A and B are shown apart, each in its own frame.
Chain A
């Protein structure tokens, strides 16, 4: 597998607390993405990055922020976690500037907000 790791793998947090998920890649790829996966919805794009400090919103960005201060790290922050943010979060990277290679996905972070 390409070098992409997510941390933590599992997290339980309380409503109203901030949470940060980390995606780390060793491939030096320009594009990184955060998706959430929910039953019946497939994967929905939260935010993506096309370079250091270059990020943009996806389909379901409300309640989330991201940062990319280094090529290898893309952080997703839930500013004040809510139960509706209970989900499995996947990070992905693109192997090139085009979509030709598709994505390489991380193993996911299962987040439960109680």
Chain B
């Protein structure tokens, strides 16, 4: 069965620090990859997605992610975080044999200190 792991449960950073959140998946075939963000008290929102092409994907709010197929990874990055980036971040994978469904990682909580 597919699985998605996220390296860190809780990350604490100061404003202006750089961010990298890890995501690894277990499926060996063709995958579609996503990062979602959930701000406190809100629903999940799509940050960015990768289907094919350039493995470096740019999303909203200055986030980007890099797909490294050989490492089964899709890490999320941001050069300089802001207090407003405090949220929970979920990596999600859709595999070619999984229809319309996703497997979500357990999430990483990011706290940015002002």
User: Which residues of A does B touch, CB under 8 Å?
Assistant: 31, 33, 35, 40-45, 48, 50, 58, 90, 92, 94, 97-103, 105-108
Shortest Cβ distance from residue B42 to the other chain A in the assembled complex, whole angstroms: 7
User: Which residues of B does A touch, CB under 8 Å?
Assistant: 4, 9, 32, 34, 36, 42-46, 49, 51, 90, 92, 94, 100-102, 104-107
B104 in contact with A44 (CB, 8 Å): yes
Shortest Cβ distance from residue B21 to the other chain A in the assembled complex, whole angstroms: 13
**Cα distance A100–B51 in the bound complex, in angstroms:** 8
**Cα distance A99–B31 in the bound complex, in angstroms:** 11
Selected A-B contacts with CB under 8 Å, 15 pairs: A40-B106, A42-B4, A42-B90, A43-B90, A43-B92, A50-B100, A58-B101, A97-B100, A99-B100, A99-B102, A102-B34, A102-B36, A102-B92, A103-B102, A108-B43
B107 in contact with A103 (CB, 8 Å): no
A107 in contact with B43 (CB, 8 Å): yes
B45 in contact with A105 (CB, 8 Å): yes
Residue of A nearest to B44 (CB): A105
B104 in contact with A43 (CB, 8 Å): yes
From A40, A43, A48, A100, residue with most partner B Cβ within 10 Å: A43
